[in-house]
Structure 1
Amino acid sequence: MKNIKTKINTLAVVSLGLFATSCSEDNFLKQESPTNPPTETAITNEKTLEIAVKGLYNLMQTNSDGSQNSYGALIPTLNELLGDNGFVSLRNSNRFSATRQPTLTFFVRQSGDIQTLWNSLYKIIANANYIISKEGTISDDITTEEQTPQNLFAQAHLVRAMCYHTLVSFFSDKVGGANQNLGVPIALKYDPSQMLPRSSVQAVYDQIKKDLDAAQAINEVNQAYAGDPSTKTKLLGKAALDMMYSRYYLSIKDYANANVYSQKVLDNNKYSLLTLGQVAGFFTSEQQPETIFELEYTSNDQPGANDGITATWYSGGRYRQNFATRAFYDQYSATDVRKAAWYSLTGVGSPSITTFPDVPKPVDVKKYTSPDQDIIIFRKTEAVFNQLEALYYTDPASALTKLVAWVKTYRDPAYVFAGTGTALLDEILKQKNMEFFLEGFRYTDLKRNGRGFTNPQTTVTLNPGMKEFQAFPVPLQEQNANPNIQQYPGY
């Protein structure tokens, strides 16, 4: 985080990949023995509570060795490479190369990426658990700026809800799908000895709802430091909470409430939708009015050339190997402002991507081009698509009208579409991916809606009847450490 010199250090615990905050009132860099619980004096006042909550945001980033990797790079990467519109070039560093294999060799218990995702999310949860355990014990410090203990604890609850939502989205089948008894373990307290079994999918979503409800004290707009408006998008606030509610309700198929909470975000005048004329400069300038929450990176706080999202995705990055498919690029019409703004057929650097051995040739993604560029987690336009998906299931005529109006107004003045039935759902999801490619949605969107696919570049095929489409395997390391956890059938 910007201007934050002290960060939360963590201690590994074998079961569940759990980690606990280790800190003292003045120094959050002190390490405890891995067998000891966090010190009781770690969070003693509002100042240390605030530092601990900021530590959660640090843990959501990708660090310099890639061992902590979730929202900052790994989640958006997997959503595209495991979907139908992204691929790893034949010219690659071996990173993520298993995702391009039609034999589905990525989906194995030994996958380092799956292990990293599991560990990283449970590490964030463990730190959130420790923070939440102090709820009710910290008094308000009237000398501090606009934060309060209630708001800080609300942020911790929202972070925990986000992590459990991501875990159950990847490691379990959708609501109503196969093996509903196999959600993910629900850890709510620090206990190094616990070896938790998997809770049901319903129980995990119930816990997500409890955390969202517990986050109601969150600020309308987080302006944690008076006179510094740049903090507005760096901390989770009311709009982010409403967006998470809309994601949650879509996941449990409560489309009426998904519509309600999407509309709450759209009605929030603290943020404004990205317009036709703002598309070209959106990813090149931070603090945009469209952005609700983003992970901050600076020159002093970045993942480095090997591990950030630009390392593999941008043609100017070190490995320049992950790309959009030409079939995806060709979905954009010549009048769609996103086409030239966010994608390139030539890229930058040497050798040119036009010389790569892939057929068709790769399409460069220009959203993230610098390692210290902030990674967007919530932006207002997502509420448009959450609402469209909800309306597809409850009022498809309205969904069609709103879809056409939004695309024509905000992205492509020449846009025409009149499809119905599943063609309308596919168009909603297609337009969402055209808007949010590499922002963390495609694979889980397809899975949630039961839309199988074949990637035109790699020929990887997934459908709802396949275990690989239903759930990731529990990592082998976790199975070895925790005898109480059940593997997903087929792995």
Structure 2
Amino acid sequence: MKNIRTKITGLALVSLGLFVTSCSEDNFLDQQSPTDPPTETAVTNEKTLAIAVDGLYNLMQTSSDGAQNSYGALIPTLNELLGDNGFVSLRNSNRFTATRQPTLTFFVRQGGDIQTLWNSLYKIIANANYIISKEGVISDDLSNDDTPQNLFAQAHLVRAMCYHTLITFYADKVGGANQDLGVPLALKYDVSQLLPRSSVQAVYNQIKSDLDASAQISEDNSVTKLGKGALDIMYSRYYLSIKDYTNANVYSQKVLDNANYTLLSKSNAASYFSDDSNSAGETIFQLEYTSNDQPGANDGITATWYSGGRYRQNFATRAFYNQYSATDVRKTAWYSLTGVGAPSITTFPDNPKPVDVKKYTTPDQDIIIFRKTEAIFNQIEALYYTNPGSALTKLNDWVKTYRDENYAFSGSGTALLDEILKQKNMEFFLEGFRYTDLKRNGRGFTNTQTTVSLNPSMKEFQAFPVPLQEQNANPNIQQYPGY
């Protein structure tokens, strides 16, 4: 997001690792006592409401304390490193190395990344809760082009996104194991609350409620603000998650019909990730970084994922790279077998050698959260469960038209589902999908590089553990069985 002189500081709640910030008339988010609630004068008009909503986007970025904390880095990183196509090199900085252990040492209550993700998402939720508590109180400022309704709608949508991410990682899928163990539903600011886990169904009901409450969101918000396109994408994700494939198809089509966005073409694919201006029209929502608020060389997604980054250690597998045909425009546009800088990644000790991912190459590059092509794959996945013949046709048509003119696939059954998810990962590698896509569809895997193997019967495939720090602070929270 743009540098608006915001200063994010933590206000820890007793349970859930929650934090909240407040804002004052001089556009700063002021630090408060670790035990005091936000002042009631923090959000009093549309101007301070807008500043507070901007603060939500700030919190979705990589944090200023060096933690790769949620949508800006950690979520896309874990989706690949806990899947079958990404890995940490044998030459590494010790970051994320537990993800490559076949003994599954990543999945422990003491895990720093598991704790960071939990804290980061609940921190955003706490701030959204405070903003939403002012709904119905803030009057429309007629001198401002925005409206309180649009700003509150964005806060509801942010909260829906966070709960969707939490339930995806920390609970099993709908219809899976332990449906009584969702995640705690914090919906108001209360330093005394020690919340138990709500059921999976209750959490999804809340996500739907927040999506519905976002109905007045603007149609034409910029790509650095959540708007109607982002809302419809989230509806399609939600309906896929609860296995309502008819509505997942309907909302995917709403995104595809939205003329404010254009599907990324073959000719624009090579430059898409270096074009923060979104000239291709594909981007629906992105986290905006500038030279003033970039995460820095030690932080952010480029630190570990790009061969020109400081730690140059996270890569795609050669088996994944070899899935692209020579005529697929993504192969050389988004990946490299040599990387940049010295030494070349061909000298790394891994066997097979790593593949560099070129999607994010500079610290101030914007991070894409929603783009129009996702609607294609959400629709195809929904159709797989309702009309597999149509899913097959749409998959072939899209790949041939937009990525690889020589593509052809004719499989059926689970082979078709695996091909749909494979093509989605080929399109969205390092954009936050693979682990959660496999989990949602019950598709176990083995990572060819690390030999890490997961399947739906394993607790590690079903859910992350509740962080030990959270258990120690909140006696009412139940641990996921087996941890």
Pick the TM interval, shorter chain.
over 0.9
Equivalent positions of 1:112-191 (< 5 A) are 112-145=112-145, 147-191=146-190
Match of 1:461 in 2: 453
The DSSP-based 3-state class of the residue aligned with 1:323 is strand
Which amino acid is the alignment partner of residue 45 of structure 2? Answer: N
1:304-360 Cα deviation digits (max 9, x unpaired): 111110000000000000000000000000000000000000001111100000000
Match of 1:324 in 2: 316
Counterpart in the other structure of 2:196: 197
State whether structure 2 residue 243 is matched by structure 1 residue 253. yes
- Where does residue 396 of structure 2 map in the other structure? 404
Equivalent residue, structure 1, for 2:259: 269
1:63/1:302 contact within 8 Å kept: no
1:38-437 alignment runs, 5 A limit? 38-67=38-67, 69-145=69-145, 147-222=146-221, 232-288=222-278, 289-437=281-429
Distance across 2 between alignment mates of 1:11 and 1:28: 15
Contact 1:9 1:28 (8 Å CA) reproduced: no
- Equivalent-residue separation in structure 1 for 2:23 and 2:242 (angstroms): 38
* SS in structure 1 of the partner of residue 11 of structure 2: strand
What amino acid is aligned across from residue 160 of structure 2 in structure 1? A
Whichever residue aligns with residue 384 of structure 1, its letter is I
Cα pair 2:194 2:475 within 8 Å, conserved:
yes
CA distances 1:168-202 after superposition (whole Å, capped 9, x unpaired):
00000000000000000000000011000000000
User: Alpha-carbon deviation of 1:22?
Assistant: 2.5
Cross-structure match for 1:226: none
Match of 1:12 in 2: 12
What secondary structure, in the 3-state scheme, does the structure 2 residue paired with 1:153 have?
Answer: helix
Q: Is the 8 A contact 1:53 1:156 kept in 2?
A: yes
Output the amino acid matched with 1:160.
R
SS at match of 1:17: coil
The alignment yields a C-alpha RMSD, in angstroms, of 0.9
**Residue 444 (structure 1) aligns with:** 436
Kept after mapping to 2: 8 A contact 1:302/1:372: yes
Contact 1:9 1:23 in 2 (8 A): no
Structure 1 residue runs of 5 or longer lacking an equivalent are: 223-231
Could you tell me how far apart the structure 1 residues matched to 2:9 and 2:252 are? Answer: 36
The Cα shift of 1:92 comes to 0.4
Q: Deviations over 1:80-129 (max 9, x none)?
A: 00000000000000000000000000000000000000000000000000
Contact 1:65 1:303 in 2 (8 A): no
Superposed CA offset, 1:132-182 (max 9, x none):
00000000001112x100000000000000000000000000000000000
CA distance in 2, matches of 1:400, 1:33: 57
Task: Map Cα deviations across residues 423-475 of structure 1 (whole Å, 9 max, x no partner).
Answer: 00000000000000000000000000000000000000000000000000000
Alpha-carbon shift at residue 27 of structure 1 (Å)? 4.6
Report the residue type matching 1:310 in the other structure. Answer: T
Residue 6 of structure 1: how far off its partner (Å): 2.6
How many angstroms apart in 1 are the aligned matches of 2:269 and 2:88? 26
Amino-acid identity (%):
84
1:65 is matched by which residue type in structure 2? D
CA contact (8 A) 2:21 2:30 kept: no
Paired AA for residue 79 in structure 2:
N
Amino acid across the alignment from 2:333 = A
Structure 2 counterpart SS, 1:292 = strand
**Counterpart position of 1:229:** none
Q: Deviations over 1:358-393 (max 9, x none)?
A: 000000000000000000000000000000000000
Letter in 2 for 1:62: T
Alpha carbons 1:24, 1:39 under 8 Å: kept: no
Q: Which residue of 2 aligns with 1:225?
A: none
Query: For 2:315, what is the secondary structure of its paired residue?
Result: strand
Q: Answer whether contact 1:233 1:287 (CA < 8 A) is retained.
A: no
2:20 match: secondary structure: strand
Provide the C-alpha distance between the structure 1 equivalents of 2:6 and 2:289, rounded to a whole number of angstroms: 15
Q: Deviations over 1:204-244 (max 9, x none)?
A: 0000000000000000011xxxxxxxxx1000000000000
CA distance in 2, matches of 1:237, 1:99: 35
Native 8 Å contact 1:23 1:38 kept in 2 = no
Q: Is the 8 A contact 2:22 2:38 kept in 1?
A: yes
Alpha-carbon contact 1:11-1:22 (below 8 Å) kept = no
Cα deviation for residue 67 of structure 1 reads 3.5
Cα shift at 1:8: 4.4
Is the 1:25–1:44 contact (alpha carbons within 8 Å) kept by the matching residues of 2?
A: no
- Rounded to whole Å, the distance in 1 between the matches of 2:29 and 2:18 is 18
Matches of 2:458 and 2:211 in 1, distance apart?
A: 32
Query: 2:21 corresponds to which residue?
Result: 21
Cα drift, residue 20 of structure 1? 1.6
Q: Distance in 1 between matches of 2:396 and 2:63?
A: 40
- Residue 477 of structure 1 and its aligned partner are, at CA, apart by 0.2
Checking the alignment, whether the CA contact within 8 Å between 2:3 and 2:290 is kept in structure 1 is: no
User: Is the contact made by 1:8 and 1:23 (CA closer than 8 Å) also made in structure 2?
Assistant: no
Normalised TM-score (structure 1): 0.97
The 3-state SS of whatever aligns with 2:29 is coil
Give, in whole Å, the separation in 2 of the partners of 1:487 and 1:312: 31
Distance 1:110 1:66 in 2: 19
C-alpha separation in 2, matches of 1:220 and 1:305: 36
Alignment size in residue pairs: 481
Conserved 8 A contact 2:67-2:299: no
For structure 2, the 5+ residue unaligned runs are: none
The 8 Å contact of residues 64 and 302 in structure 1, kept in 2 or not, is answered as: no
Paired residue for 1:477? Answer: 469
Aligned residues of 1:273 and 1:381 also touching (Cα < 8 A):
yes
Find the aligned partners of 1:212 and 1:95 in 2 and give their Cα distance: 35
Whole-Å Cα distance in 2 between the matches of residues 304 and 453 of structure 1? 34
